[in-house]
Amino acid sequence: MKYLIVTQTFPPRSGGIQTVMETISKKLATFEETHVFPDHFLKKDFNISNSNFHIHNNFTPKLFRYLVKRKLVDQTYEDNDIVICDSWKSINAVPDKVKKIIVFAHGQEYLAKKKTNLIKKSLNRAGHIICSSSYTLNLIDNLNITNAKKSVIPPTYSLKETNENHVGKKLTKKISILSITRLEKRKGIIPVLKSLGHLHKEKLIKPFIWEICGEGNQETEIKKYIDNLGLSKHVRLLGKVSDEIKNKLLKKTDLFVMPSYKVKNSIEGFGISYLEAASYGVPSIAGVEGGVRDAVFDMKTGWCIDPLNSSLLLDTIKEAINNKDKREKFGLEAKKQFSKKFLGEKVFRKFMNTINS
């Protein structure tokens, strides 16, 4: 038996789903021969140290890419193999003769009503649909998919236990706030800036430093808000950072902030960043829409709020910054829940039990 990974999302391109597919592929290769069929060419320096791990590069223009990928899969596939797809779209590149298809479902891709029939046709070929959150599971249930089993497994396969714990942390003069996110509207950065600007101006919160890691189309607008709100000494845009720097930031962070919300058909399917913070004992301010409630438990491991409710956002940020005891209580519980439900090795075992059932 072999594992065949058919995916549009894979390194060296970056992102949450890319990390999921890379992690799963490499872990599967420790058990059986594993073949990855990405949409693009992988550089020669891509880290492959396992002889069971094979990449089938694709040089084809986008219009014909899935046809070439289908042929490559067809040439590699044998009857007992398991094919794993990153989304419903990748099933189009799977030959009809394949008997067992596992597909991931992440969230917002199922909000496009115009594609409902295409999605249903693809998903009905799958033997098992692995949903990132209960929110995604509800979206799939609404499609009335009859031929596939369904499970919810959080996409935290790459996350490891840390020894960090913020309880008893030495007091510093400034509260350290962190965001690791794409700089786009639905991430809720600008509503937070407006709230912080007001609270800082009125001297209603303790001194703070907010470091924002990431890139995106809202970067210029965010810079203008920082300047106009008089926050240039308190908010730093760090751009894209390495894993090493990200981990250093998480070690010293008191509060993680990313109160995402739905913008048209764009929504947070889960939110791995919240669990990265939780692994360090850091509580989060998150949104209420999409799959984030599976990652952040309201008033237990953080705060889940609608960032467009300006008065609620003000009160929440004020409490989160000023109330050290509550931050530490939520941080302890976040660390506990991470170890219990989201540790990479645990969710991968659940994944293996699912695909081999």
Domain final position from 152, 187, 204: 152
Q: Is 303 helix (H, G, I), strand (E, B) or coil?
A: strand
Q: What share of the chain is helix, strand, coil (3-state, %, to 5)?
A: 40, 15, 45
Domain tally for the chain? 2
Same domain, 129 and 199: no
- Note whether residue 181 is domain-resident: yes
Residues near 215 by beta carbon (within 8 Å), at least 6 away in sequence: 182, 183, 239, 240
pLDDT of residue 131: 96
- Note whether residue 168 is domain-resident: no
Beta partners for 293?
A: none
CATH number of 72's domain: 3.40.50.2000
Same domain, 109 and 188: no
Same domain, 249 and 320: yes
pLDDT of residue 205: 97
Same domain, 210 and 145: no
pLDDT of residue 20: 94
pLDDT of residue 45: 46
- Note whether residue 170 is domain-resident: no
Same domain, 144 and 179: no
Same domain, 147 and 181: no
Alpha helix (H) ranges present in the chain?
Answer: 16-28, 62-76, 116-123, 134-141, 189-201, 219-228, 243-252, 272-278, 310-322, 324-337, 344-355
Same domain, 235 and 290: yes
Answer for the pair 232, 226: CB distance below 8 angstroms, yes or no: yes
Domain final position from 120, 152, 184: 152
pLDDT of residue 171: 53
160: nearest Cα among 27, 306, 304: 27
- Note whether residue 356 is domain-resident: no
Same domain, 206 and 123: no
- Note whether residue 159 is domain-resident: no
- Note whether residue 160 is domain-resident: no
In angstroms, the CA 254 to CA 264 distance is 32
pLDDT along the chain (357 residues), means of 10: 94 85 94 91 61 86 89 96 96 95 90 86 95 95 90 96 66 87 96 98 97 96 98 97 94 97 92 96 97 97 98 98 96 97 97 92
Which residues span the domain enclosing 43?
Answer: 3-152
Same domain, 143 and 205: no
- Note whether residue 45 is domain-resident: yes
Same domain, 23 and 142: yes
Residues near 268 by beta carbon (within 8 Å), at least 6 away in sequence: 107, 186, 260, 287, 289, 290, 291, 292
Residues near 216 by beta carbon (within 8 Å), at least 6 away in sequence: 181, 182, 183, 184, 187
- Note whether residue 12 is domain-resident: yes
Residue with tokens 């929504």: 267
Same domain, 114 and 262: no
The number of helices, as runs of H, and strands, as runs of E, in the chain is 11, 13
Measured over all CA atoms, what is the biggest interatomic distance in the chain, rounded to whole angstroms? 68
Same domain, 9 and 98: yes
Domain final position from 84, 119, 152: 152
